[in-house]
Amino acid sequence: MAQGPTIALDAMGGDHGPTVVLAGAELARVRFPEIRYLIFGREDEIRKVLKQYPKLEAASEIIHTDDVVLGSDKPSQALRRSRTSSMGMAIQSVKDGQAQAAVSAGNTGALMAMAKFILRTNEGIDRPALVALLPNMRSESVMLDLGANTECSAENLVQFAVMGAAFARTVLGLNRPKVALLNIGEEELKGTDDLKEAAARLRDTDLPMEFVGFTEGDKIGVGDVDVIVTDGFSGNIALKTAEGTAKLISGLLRRAFLHSLWTKLGYVLARGGLRALRSHLDPNNHNGAVFLGLNGLVVKSHGSANAAGMAAAISLSYDLITDDISRRIAQDLENFRATPAAPTEDA
């Protein structure tokens, strides 16, 4: 078997530590048996779990460290321990070329700070963006930024759009993904000056994407747009609102079906469809947020993800590695900047 990419795992991150991280790595290994792993964390805890997966153990190397970033740690505190913590060492292995991606379910703020500090941004990119897949009525859509940058200029939004389109072509398999900027209305006159400027610059691009203008928050789940671009402040609020709405719908459905004997009977009849709905909305099936724009891949798994969710995050890493997402982004940015600017109305 040909040796595939090496992925660094922060085994101590998340709510469940090595138990879920290694179970997810085993599931991902079944799908991609050529993956190799560098596993960072407390060796005795890791080996105890790894004994359950002999084939995974044979494809893994453990790098011991007692230092673990806690969920309560401030990013500044965690950053000072980037050389000794399991999270920091996993990211460092990407910079050193020992691994092609790092995956962690640990503290998001700490992971973001360490990734930016250790890997730095790609040439031509001012700020990295946190991107993830969101379920919609048709399938999935890409959204960024989801919290890495609370304030963004027009140039930042343009770069996010280019990165998001490249991500959609890789992960969703789209030749020309539809891209839109999140705004308070779809009319061209609405929104901030930065949004208007970004839209004007994206409108005439020759890149393999279709810029469709502005979209509103209530359209995120429709699926008419493949890539939704916004600043990290608005994006994080939209993401948490969508997650809360999904929980609300699940709770209301559960309460409705338990209301009486007749509604319980209705649940039995509708059980197949409800299971499909639950699977589509399950965050574990869409798990894995990526810091795009860095000199290396870092994937953030949800802290409460189960084994299937961790496997999804690792599988996402594999797809981005094999499709060389960093090269795609760099090439698209270069082509975008080489495109002559469209003449203004005054000209």
Count of CA atoms in the C-beta half-sphere (13 A) of 103:
34
Is the Cβ–Cβ distance between 10 and 87 less than 8 Å? yes
Q: Phi and psi for 333 in degrees, rounded to 5?
A: -65, -40
CB-based contacts of 209, cutoff 8 Å, min separation 6: 161, 165, 168, 176, 177, 178, 179, 227
How far, in Å, CA of 102 to CA of 197, rounded?
Answer: 35
How far, in Å, CA of 16 to CA of 178, rounded?
Answer: 37
Q: Where are the beta strands (DSSP E) in the chain?
A: 6-10, 36-41, 60-64, 101-104, 129-135, 140-144, 178-182, 210-215, 227-229, 289-292, 297-300
Report all structural domains of the chain as residue ranges with CATH numbers, in order of start: 1-125+293-324 (3.40.718.10), 126-286 (3.40.718.10)
Question: Nearest CA to 318 among 36, 122, 39, 106?
Answer: 36
Retrieve residue 206's tokens.
């020759």
- For 161-179, the pLDDT digits (tens) are 999 998 898 888 888 999 9
Retrieve residue 151's tokens.
């304030």
Predicted pLDDT of residue 66: 93
Predicted pLDDT of residue 281: 56
Predicted pLDDT of residue 161: 93
C-alpha of 201 from chain center: 26
Strand 227-229 and strand 178-182: the pairing is parallel
To the nearest whole percent, how much of the chain has pLDDT over 70?
90
A 10 A CB-CB count for 49 gives 20
Amino acid, res. 307 = A
Q: Dihedral through CA 15, CA 16, CA 17, CA 22, nearest 10?
A: -130
C-alpha of 222 from chain center: 20
How far, in Å, CA of 141 to CA of 143, rounded?
Answer: 7
- For 76-111, the pLDDT digits (tens) are 888 999 899 999 999 999 999 999 999 999 988 899
Is the Cβ–Cβ distance between 274 and 253 less than 8 Å? yes
Q: What is the mean pLDDT of residues 117-134?
A: 88
A 10 A CB-CB count for 124 gives 14
Is the Cβ–Cβ distance between 214 and 178 less than 8 Å? no
Mean pLDDT of the chain: 86
How far, in Å, CA of 151 to CA of 137, rounded?
Answer: 30
pLDDT band at 286 (very low <50, low <70, confident <90, very high): low
pLDDT band at 276 (very low <50, low <70, confident <90, very high): low
Give the pTM. Answer: 0.82
Retrieve residue 285's tokens.
């099936």
Sign, CA dihedral 29-32-34-39, equals: negative
Is the Cβ–Cβ distance between 173 and 133 less than 8 Å? no
Predicted pLDDT of residue 338: 65
Cis previous bond, 145, omega within 30: yes
How far, in Å, CA of 131 to CA of 310, rounded?
Answer: 17
- 3-state SS, residue 101: strand
Strand 289-292 and strand 297-300: the pairing is antiparallel
How far, in Å, CA of 209 to CA of 324, rounded?
Answer: 18
